[in-house]
Amino acid sequence: MAIHLCSHPLAQHLLTGLRSTETNPQHFRPLARRLTTLLALEATADLPTMASPITTPLEPMEGQVLAHGIVVIPILRAGLAMLEPFLELFPDVSVGYIGLERDHATAVAASYYCKLPQVQGCTTLVVDPMLATGGSAGQAIDHVKAAGATDVRLVCVVAAPEGVAAVEAAHPDVPIYAAALDRELNAKKYICPGLGDFGDRLYGTL
Ligand SMILES: O=P(O)(O)OC[C@H]1O[C@H](OP(=O)(O)OP(=O)(O)O)[C@H](O)[C@@H]1O
Ligand SMILES: O=c1cc[nH]c(=O)[nH]1
Ligand SMILES: [Mg+2]
């Protein structure tokens, strides 16, 4: 499976807080932000750099800067929880938005919004905390590839084996970064043990 799991102990500590029913939206949001910082670093650890001549206060030297632009695309609405840490780490990023919502009965995601920046030549990070059936992530990746993205990465908090398999089958070139690979989907296509509906936990909706 093309999944990279974040091995940092802090990631598991933060994820445990997100999973607990005792965590209300007020505490859920900062936990999600802190965990995303770790995931963002993991998902970008191999970004290419290029030489940049600079002068320190002592002497000239050849520094290194990021070689390509970065695009971040949160899948609305839960993916919004993961945007801010990317903006803090990479202030130059361009941001696109893809709106997708699963039908409560069928769990099939329908698209309701798509606004993408220029993606050609950039590293495009699609961010969505939950990879369940993989329907939402697969559709989002279809959109960004149709816009010309080639280096595409998917960053999630919790993945289900079913979603990983679906993304890997449709987009074998797209690596997945997550904090956990959970056991399975239940009959309603929720991830178990999971953390419930991320969007509802984030925004206090039901
Ligand atoms: O892998 P899938 O089976 O497609 O499920 C994952 C999707 O489900 C959730 O979104 P939801 O449809 O609940 O929308 P929301 O973010 O607006 O709550 C989640 O944020 C993912 O986008
Ligand atoms: O477990 C799940 C599955 C899909 N979406 C969520 O927010 N949680
Ligand atoms: Mg939801």
The CATH number of the domain holding residue 14 is 3.40.50.2020
Give the pLDDT score at 5: 98
Nearest CA to ligand 1 atom 20: 78
Q: How far is the CA of 53 from the centre of ligand 2 (A)?
A: 47
The verdict on residue 61 lying in a domain is no
The verdict on residue 53 lying in a domain is no
CB atoms within 10 A of CB 18: 24
Cα separation values, 35 from 17, 64, 82, 181, Å: 10, 27, 9, 15
The verdict on residue 95 lying in a domain is yes
The verdict on residue 57 lying in a domain is no
Give the pLDDT score at 23: 98
Give the pLDDT score at 10: 98
What's the burial of 131, exposed, middle or buried (CB within 10 Å: 0-12/13-18/19+)?
A: buried
Looking from the CA of residue 185, the nearest atom of ligand 2 is: 1
Looking from the CA of residue 160, the nearest atom of ligand 1 is: 1
Find out whether the beta carbon of 160 lies less than 6 Å from any atom of ligand 1. no
Give the pLDDT score at 54: 98
The verdict on residue 54 lying in a domain is no
Looking from the CA of residue 101, the nearest atom of ligand 1 is: 12
Domain extent for 129 = 3-46+68-203
What's at 165, amino acid-wise?
A
The verdict on residue 113 lying in a domain is yes
Q: State the 10-residue block means of pLDDT for the chain, 206 residues long.
A: 91 98 98 98 98 98 98 98 98 98 96 98 98 98 98 98 98 98 98 98 94
The verdict on residue 163 lying in a domain is yes
Find out whether the beta carbon of 72 lies less than 6 Å from any atom of ligand 2. no
pTM for the whole thing?
0.97
Give the pLDDT score at 2: 82
Find out whether the beta carbon of 190 lies less than 6 Å from any atom of ligand 2. yes
Nearest CA to ligand 2 atom 7: 197
How many structural domains comprise the chain? 1
Give the pLDDT score at 155: 98
The verdict on residue 22 lying in a domain is yes
CA 49, CA 83: separation in Å to the nearest integer?
23
